[in-house]
Chain A
Amino acid sequence: MAADSSRIAIPAFGTKGKLWLGLLAAIMVAGLAAWGYQLTTGLVATGMRNVFSWGLYIMMFVLFVGLSAGGLIISSAPKFFHSHRYEGFARLGVLVSLACITVAGLLILPDIGRPERLYQFFTSPDFRSPMVWDFGIVILYGVLNLWYLWLLTRRDLAARGSRLALGVADTDAGRERDRTLMFWTAALALPTAVALHSVTGWIFATQIGRGDWFSPLVAPVFIAKALVSGLGLLLVVSVLADRLTNYEVDREELTSLGKILGIFLALHVVYLLAAERLPHAWANHFEFWAITSSFLIGESVYFWLWTVVGGAVPLVMLMIPSLRKRVSVIFTASLLAVFGTMFEGIRLVFTGYEVANIALPPGISTGGEYAGITTDIWATAGAYTPTLVEVAVTLGIVAFGALIVTLGLKYVPIQRVERPESYATDGGRQERQ
Chain B
Amino acid sequence: MTNYGLVIDQERCIGCQACAVSCKQENNVPMGQFWNRVLTEGGDKIDTPSGGYPEDGGSGSLDMEYQPTACQHCENAPCVKVCPVNATYTRDDGIVEIDYDKCIGCRYCMAACPYNARVFNWDEPEQMPEEGTGDVAARPQGVVEKCTFCSHRVDEGLDPACVVNCPADARIFGDLDDEGSTVSKYINEYETDQLLEDRGTDPKTHYISGEMSPGRPQTSDKMESELDDVSPWSDGAEDVPSDADGSDSGDSGGSHHSIESDADPHVPAVGSGGDD
| A121-B39 contact given A113-B120, A352-B111, CB 8 Å threshold | no
* Binary per-residue interface labels of chain A (78-122) against chain B in the complex, 1 for a CB within 8 Å, 0 otherwise: 000000000000000000000000000000100111110110110
Contact B103 A209 (CB under 8 A): no
Determine, out of A168-176, A245-253, A256-264, A354-362, the stretch whose residues face the partner at the interface. Answer: A354-362
The residues of A that contact B142 with a CB separation of less than 8 Å are 42-43, 113-114
Most chain A C-beta atoms within 10 Å of own C-beta, residue among B41, B48, B114: B114
Q: Looking at the assembled complex, report how far the CB atom of B22 sits from the nearest CB atom of chain A, in whole angstroms.
A: 16
Determine, out of A6-14, A47-55, A301-309, A413-421, the stretch whose residues face the partner at the interface. Answer: A47-55
Partner of B106, one of A44, A112, A352, A368: A112
Closest to A115 in B: B104
The residues of A that contact B119 with a CB separation of less than 8 Å are 50, 365, 367
A33 within 8 A of B: no
Determine, out of B82-90, B181-189, B212-220, B244-252, the stretch whose residues face the partner at the interface. Answer: B82-90
Partner of A209, one of B32, B78, B105, B143: B78
Task: Report the interface size for chain A: residues with CB under 8 A from the other chain.
Answer: 53
Contact B82 A129 (CB under 8 A): yes
A293 within 8 A of B: no
Closest to A364 in B: B116
Q: For residues 80 through 128 of chain B, which have their beta carbon under 8 Å from a beta carbon of chain A? A: 81-87, 102-108, 110-116, 118-124, 126
Q: Looking at the assembled complex, report how far the CB atom of A126 sits from the nearest CB atom of chain B, in whole angstroms.
A: 5
Partner of B111, one of A115, A128, A207, A367: A207
Partner of A366, one of B32, B44, B87, B141: B32
Contact A358 B106 (CB under 8 A): no
| A365-B37 contact given A114-B105, A208-B114, CB 8 Å threshold | yes
The residues of B that contact A129 with a CB separation of less than 8 Å are 81-84, 108
| A361-B33 contact given A112-B104, A129-B108, A208-B199, CB 8 Å threshold | no
* Binary per-residue interface labels of chain A (40-70) against chain B in the complex, 1 for a CB within 8 Å, 0 otherwise: 0111101011110110000000000000000
Contact B121 A360 (CB under 8 A): no
In the docked arrangement, what's the CA distance between A110 and B81, Å?
A: 23
Contact A365 B33 (CB under 8 A): yes
B196 within 8 A of A: yes
Closest to A51 in B: B116
The residues of B that contact A46 with a CB separation of less than 8 Å are 122
Contact A53 B111 (CB under 8 A): yes
Partner of A44, one of B48, B123, B196, B201: B123
Partner of A131, one of B32, B108, B113, B141: B108
In the docked arrangement, what's the CA distance between A95 and B117, Å?
A: 43
* Binary per-residue interface labels of chain A (119-140) against chain B in the complex, 1 for a CB within 8 Å, 0 otherwise: 0110011101111100100000
The residues of B that contact A241 with a CB separation of less than 8 Å are none
Contact B107 A367 (CB under 8 A): no
In the docked arrangement, what's the CA distance between A367 and B30, Å?
A: 9
Q: Looking at the assembled complex, report how far the CB atom of B195 sits from the nearest CB atom of chain A, in whole angstroms.
A: 7
In the docked arrangement, what's the CA distance between A108 and B106, Å?
A: 9
Interchain Cβ contacts under 8 Å between A and B, 27 examples: A42-B142, A44-B122, A50-B110, A54-B107, A114-B103, A117-B102, A118-B104, A121-B84, A125-B84, A125-B86, A126-B86, A129-B82, A132-B84, A135-B84, A207-B112, A208-B201, A209-B114, A358-B67, A358-B196, A360-B41, A360-B67, A361-B43, A362-B39, A362-B40, A365-B32, A370-B31, A375-B32
Which 5 interchain pairs have the tightest Cβ spacing?
Answer: A113-B105, A209-B114, A113-B142, A360-B39, A370-B32
